[in-house]
Chain A
Amino acid sequence: MSDPSARKIIPITVQSAPKGGPAEPGPAMHSLYEAQKKIYPRSVAGLFTRWRWVMVALTQLVYYGLPWLEWGQRQAVLFDLGTRRFYIFGLVLYPQDFIYLTGLLVISALSLFLFTAVAGRLWCGYTCPQTVYTEIFLWIEHKLEGDRMARMRLDAAPLSANKLLRKGSKHFVWIALSLWTGFTFVGYFSPIRALGTEFLHAQVTSWEVFWTFFYGFATYGAAGFMREQVCKYMCPYARFQSAMFDRDTLIVTYDTARGEPRGRRARSADPATLDLGACIDCTLCVQVCPTGIDIRKGLQYECIGCGACVDVCDTVMDKMGYARGLIKYSTENAIEQRWSRTQIWRRVLRPRVLVYSAILAAISLAVVFNLAMRTPFRVDVVRDRGTLARVVNGGLVENVYQLQIMNATESAQRYRITATGLPGLSVVTDDTVMVDATQSRWVALRLQLPPDAAPAGSHPIRLAIEALDSPGRLVEKSAFLVPR
C-alpha cells in the first residue's frame, strides 16, 4: 500500500456517507470526555443464558460456600496471614511454597489463552466476577423494577412513593448481598464462623471491618453502577483480545451476508419476494446487550462474548419461521467461506491450540505431581554467623549450624538429623528434634570432626533430616570448616 493516491485521508470537515444502519452523526465537536450512557439490558432466555446461570451458580456456590467447609478441627480453606500459614483442605502451605501460587497463575493464564483461542471471551461472558455479579444484580433489578422498558420508564418518572420503594428495596438487597460478599471474602482470611460471632458482638478488628466494607463497596459499585464501564475502560483483556483471536476463533458473529439488507416486514411476508435479508431490524440484539453495542457492526472490543444476542435473535428467527443462527458463535473463516459445523470443529485442532494445550497439560501435571510428592516439612541450614570453627577438648573440630525446621503437618513431628560427607563426622547436639504442628523452629546444631580427619579448609557436607513419625526425608548441603 505504498501508492499515495490510495491514501484515504478524511478531512475533518468532510461528511462521509453512512454505511447502512441508522444514520451516523456527522462531523462534530466532541468533548474529550464521554458521559456514561445508562444501559438497560433486556432480560433474555436461551441456551447461552442458561449456561451463564449454571456458571453463576457454580462459581458462587464455591465462593460463598467454601469458607464454611470444615476439615478436621479447622476451616478447610483458610489463608491465615497473621501466622503466615495457608490451609487448603489437607495442605498446609508456608510462604515458601509460593511456587504453587506461581504455578496456579501460569495455569490460569494458559487456560485463558487456550479458551480465548478456541472460543473467544468465554471467561468474560460466563465466569468473570464482573459478569457474574452484574448478572445477579441485574436479576435483582429485574425482579424489583421490571424489565428494560419498565426500568427506563421508572428512571424517567418523577419521584414517587412507588419509585422510592422500588429503588430503595433494590439498593437494600444490593447492599445486603454486597456486604455478605465482603464478609465471605474476609472469611477466607479470618475463620468465618468466629468472624460471624465477632461481628454480632462488635469484637471485630478494624481490618476485618475495613475489608468487609471495602470489598462490599467494590461489589456494589462494580456490579450495580460501573458494570460495562469496568469491561470497557478498566479491564485490559478487551484491549489485547485481537492478539489472541485468529480467523478460526469462535466469536459471537452476525451473519452479514444472510442478514443484509435488513428491514422490517410483516411476519406473513415471503422473504424470497422481499429483496431483504433475514434481519428484521427488531434491535433486540442491541437491547439485550449488557455492554450496549450493536453486534451487527462486527467484532468490537466491547463485546464480552456473553451470547445474549445469540439467544434473543434465535427466538426472533423462530417466531419469524426463519432458520436460527443469524447471530451465532462462528469463526471469521466460516462466515466468509460458508463452512459447516464440522469444518469449523476440524479447525479447532490447529497448531496454536495444540501448543497451548500441550504446555497447559505439562505445567498442570508438573504442579499436581509436585504437590503429590511434596515433603511435608522444609529445612533451611545456615552456618552459625558467630563462630566459624572451634577446636574443643581433645582436638576435635567443632562447627555450629542453625537449622530452621518447618513442620507443614498438623501434628507434632520428630525429626532426626544425620551428617555425612566427612569421615567420623558426628552430631553432638540432640539428633532428634521435636517441632509442634504447623510451627517452624530454629535449632542450634553442633557437628564434631575427629582431629586430622580432614585437611584445613572448607569441606562440603550433607545434612539429612528425616521425619520419624511420617514419611519424608530431606538432604541439605552445607560446609564444614577446619581451621589451620
Chain B
Amino acid sequence: MSDFTSNFWSVYVAAITLIGIVACLLLLWFSGKAKANTAGDNTTGHVWDGDLREMNNPLPRWWVGLFIITVVFALVYLALYPGLGTYPGLLGWTSRGQYQTEVSKGNAEVAPLYARYSSMKPEDVAADAQAMAIGERLFMNNCAQCHGSDARGGNGFPNLTDSDWLYGGTPDKIIETITHGRIGNMPPMAAAVGSADDVKNVAQYVLSLSGSPHDSLRAALGKPKFAVCAACHGADGKGNQAIGAPNLTDDIWLHGYGEKAIVAMINNGMTNQMPAQENRLTEPQIHVLASYVWGLSNKPSPVSR
C-alpha cells in the first residue's frame, strides 16, 4: 500500500477488525450470562397496542456455537490470508498469484493439445480442421479487436486475407510479427521533398505507381522528388519488407486512398504499432495462430469446417 505515507491506516484497519471480533466474543459471553424475566405464561411481560404480548422465544444454545465458529473462522482466515491491514497472511496468497496459477494450470491442460501442432509445419497445421478451430478462437479473442472478426482489417489495421504483407507473409515472418510486434514508422518527409506543390506532385506520382487515376503532368513533375522516398519504398515504389515499408504499387491503401491522404502522410508521417503478444500468448499458441493467419491468404477460407 504505497498509496499511503505511513502505515497508520494498516494498523487502524487491523485494530478495528480485531477489536470487532473481541467485541463479538464479549457480547456472546455477556448474553450467555444474562437472564431474562418471564411471566408464568411464558411471555416477557411486554405488551403493545393493548393486546400484543411478546413470547419468550429463546435462541437455541447451539446457535451460540455457530457464532463461535464464525469467530474461529475469522481468526483462522485472518491468519492465513491477507486481511489485517498490510499483513500478507501465512499462505502468502495474492489475487495476482492465484490468477497466474490458474493461467499456468490452464496452459498445462491444453499443452498436450498444442504439442501435436508445435511439431507440425505451419502449412500442415493450416490444413488441420481442429487446429483451425482453435486458431479461429484465438484470433477472435486476441486479434479481431483491431484486424476485424473477418481479418480484413480497416483504416490503419492491415488486411490479413490478401497477399500484401508489410513485413513478409511467410509463416516464420508471421510468427515473428505476432511474437515481438512491429512498429512501422514513416517520418514526416515534407521538408525533404520540398514545397507544398512538390508534395502534391509526389502524391500524384505515388497514385500513378498503382495505376490509380492521377494527374500525369504533376506525376511527371513529382517523379524526381520521389528519390527521397525511394530510400525506403525503393526506386520502383515496391517497398521493402525488411523495414516494413509498404508497397505503393499494389493499389492497397492502409492509411487512406487519394491525394489528400497521401499528402497528409508525407507531411505528418505516421507511427503504426502492432503490439507484441509474447507475454499474452504462449509459443505453441502463437504457432497455431500464425498458421491460421497464414491460412487466411493461402487457401480457401477455413470458415466452413
Residues of A at the B interface (CB closer than 8 Å) are: 1-2, 6-12, 14-16, 18, 24-36, 229, 232-233, 384-387, 390, 398, 400-402, 429-430, 432-434, 442-446
The answer on a CB contact under 8 Å between A10 and B39 is yes
Chain A residues, CB < 8 A from B36: 29-32
**Which of B37, B136, B152, B303 interacts with A387 by CB under 8 Å?**
B152
B150–A400 touching, CB < 8 Å:
yes
Interface size class for chain B? 35 or more
- From the candidates A232, A386, A402, name the one contacting B154 in the complex (CB within 8 A): A386
How far is the CB of A338 from the nearest CB of chain B, in Å?
Answer: 28
Which residues from chain B contact A434 at a C-beta distance below 8 Å?
304-305
**A34 to B59, Cβ gap below 8 A?**
yes
Q: Are B39 and A16 in contact (CB under 8 A)?
A: yes
Tell me whether A32 and B51 are in contact in the complex, defined as CB-CB below 8 angstroms, given that A12-B45, A16-B39, A27-B40 are known contacts. no
Q: In the complex, given contacts A32-B35, A232-B60, what are 20 additional A-B residue pairs having Cβ atoms less than 8 angstroms apart?
A: A12-B37, A12-B45, A14-B40, A29-B35, A30-B36, A30-B38, A30-B58, A33-B61, A33-B63, A36-B60, A229-B60, A229-B62, A233-B60, A385-B144, A386-B148, A387-B148, A387-B153, A429-B150, A433-B304, A444-B144
Closest A residue to B56 using CB positions:
A30
Which residues of chain B come closer than 8 Å to A15, judged between CB atoms?
A: 40
Q: Please, which residue of chain B has its CB at the minimum distance from the CB of A226?
A: B62
Which of B32, B45, B148, B153 is most buried by chain A, counting CB atoms within 10 A of its CB?
Answer: B148
Can you pick out 29 interface pairs between chain A and chain B where the beta carbons lie within 8 Å of each other?
A1-B49, A9-B47, A10-B45, A11-B39, A12-B37, A16-B41, A25-B40, A25-B42, A28-B38, A29-B35, A30-B35, A30-B36, A31-B32, A31-B58, A33-B58, A33-B64, A35-B60, A229-B60, A232-B60, A233-B60, A384-B148, A386-B147, A390-B155, A429-B303, A430-B301, A430-B303, A442-B149, A444-B148, A445-B149
Does B70 count as interface, using CB distance less than 8 angstroms? no
B43 beta carbon closer than 8 Å to chain A: yes
Report how far A30 CA is from B86 CA in the complex, Å. 45
B50 and A446 form a contact (CB under 8 A): no
Task: Give the Cβ gap from A439 to chain B, nearest Cβ, in Å.
Answer: 9
CB pair A233–B145 under 8 Å, yes or no, is no
**Residue B140 CB within 8 A of the other chain:** yes
Please report the C-alpha to C-alpha distance between residue A2 and residue B136 in the assembled complex, in whole angstroms: 78
A10 in complex: contacting residue of B47, B144, B145, B303, CB < 8 Å: B47
Which single member of A24, A387, A444 contacts B41 (CB below 8 Å)? A24
Encode contact with A along B187-214: 1 for CB under 8 Å, 0 otherwise: 0000000000000000000000000000
Query: B62–A36 contact, CB under 8 A?
Result: yes
B116 sits at the interface (CB 8 A): no
A313 CB to closest chain B CB, in angstroms?
Answer: 25
